[in-house]
Chains A and B, each alone.
Chain A
């Protein structure tokens, strides 16, 4: 009896840490503006040449605060990759000349909009095991951001045309209802690296 109990406890020990937190997958080519603040999202991408520019829109009826981060999977020699992102929209500080200079070519800032800029330059980055897809990721650092109501644009680019793979994630709530896995299997290589 004791052996059975021990076996059960050991199985629980192995299974428990794999129950993970998961974002709802989304792709950049979905041509969709994200408006639902009650879903956490992840968007994967690859910089093949380093000159690509990834963008998507956010539009909220009321101010919204949630964790934001960009991470790189460490497999395949990707652990040194440090993609950058900016969120452009109302409520963020007005950009200085230095901030504007660090944005990639072709990115414009509407009148009255501010910028949150993540340069992903911390020497020690947070490394974690993501239990749902079972992979190790290194994060830019998670930041809770408060976005004012209205339209925002998220821009992701690679510094100095470095190449690599990334995932952009934000939000907390796990919600896969209403087609939460749409596009995942069609774009499996993007999500399951």
Chain B
């Protein structure tokens, strides 16, 4: 009985550690923000250095950075929508 509990505890701990160490993927929030930035870039004929938000960017190197970027992208798109009236379709 004790061994069963210990094994269950071990399996739970391993699952938590593995999920904590898993590489996060680009969030939907940042995909949307990036699409908006690229659409603005196209309007202005420039290229914004936004590599950190791309699918292989620095945002997705760990859970803490991923959470930071996801919050930032949601806030960033919301700000763009409030602050600018002439945004391209991808930003709406």
Contact = CB atoms under 8 A, between A and B. Distances in A.
A6 B6 contact: yes
Given A6-B13, A9-B17, A63-B41, A143 B46 contact: no
A6 B7 CA distance: 8
Contacts of B84: 93
A13 B16 contact: yes
A2 B6 contact: yes
B72 A142 contact: yes
A10 B13 contact: yes
Interface string B23-37: 000000010010001
A21 interface: yes
A10 B13 CA distance: 7
A100 interface: no
A144 B72 contact: yes
B88 interface: no
B90 interface: no
Contacts of B47: 62-63
A146 to B, nearest CB: 6
Contacts of A12: 13, 17
A28 B78 CA distance: 30
A60 interface: yes
B65 A144 contact: no
B64 interface: yes
B65 A145 contact: no
A5 B33 contact: no
A6 B49 contact: no
A173 interface: yes
Interface in A4-24: 5-6, 9-10, 12-13, 16-17, 19-21
A134 to B, nearest CB: 14
A149 B46 contact: yes
B79 A143 contact: yes
A37 interface: yes
B75 A9 contact: no
Interface of B: 3, 6-7, 9-10, 13-14, 16-17, 20-21, 30, 33, 37, 40-41, 44, 46-50, 52-53, 57-59, 62, 64-65, 68-69, 71-73, 75-77, 79-80, 83-84
6 contacts: A60-B49, A66-B72, A116-B83, A141-B71, A172-B58, A174-B58
